[in-house]
Amino acid sequence: MENHRPRSAGVTAAATFAILGSVTALLIWGFIVLSIVNTPADEKGHRLYELYAGAFFAIALIPPLVLAAFIRTAIGLFQLRPWARIAAMVWAGGALVASLWLIAFRPFETFVIPENFVSPVQSIQQLFSIAFVFMLLPVSVWWLFLFRMKSVRAQFSAERASAKLQEAECQDGTVSYT
């Protein structure tokens, strides 16, 4: 069957990157949740997730739901759904704001890693913030430019898709009752 809505390489790359990034984030999230669950009990026999149940449930539920929404957006990009282009621009705008906020309000954590003045936990936080900025800042700018291009908007156009589908049905000899 012929594809009546060809997808550009940029849209394919963006959707692939979104899925790969989401799977990677899910793996990191799983490692963090597993580390929280496997922490030893304190002297009273309480575990960390028992002491901070609300925070644990937020950590356990919110990230996978957000990542599931991001994966659904990536699948929508593969299918050239008009809502997926808008959702991708919203994700890109959010990532851009978060990256710029991190640069503006946490410049020490973003650009400088001291070797002997911070604890190992703070060093890990700094590495995560640097990775966040270096990965998401260029991608968010790329997505904002990509999904605003006229050629990309035309790919996601619902009218164009329905017209081409009706045209293809008429050429096949089938009748459309829509």
The pLDDT tens digits of the residues spanning 15-41 come to 999 999 999 999 999 998 888 888 888
Residue 159 CB burial class (10 angstroms; 0-12, 13-18, ≥19): exposed
169 is a domain residue:
no
Number of domains in the chain: 1
pTM for this one? 0.75
What confidence category does residue 83 fall into, taking pLDDT thresholds of 50, 70 and 90?
very high
The pLDDT tens digits of the residues spanning 84-138 come to 999 999 999 999 999 999 888 877 665 666 666 667 777 777 777 888 888 889 9
Range of the domain at 138: 9-159
Residue whose structure tokens are 């619902």: 158
56 is a domain residue:
yes
1 is a domain residue:
no
**The pLDDT of residue 131:** 82
175 is a domain residue:
no
2 is a domain residue:
no
173 is a domain residue:
no
What does the pLDDT average to over 130-147?
90
What confidence category does residue 170 fall into, taking pLDDT thresholds of 50, 70 and 90?
low
What does the pLDDT average to over 53-80?
92
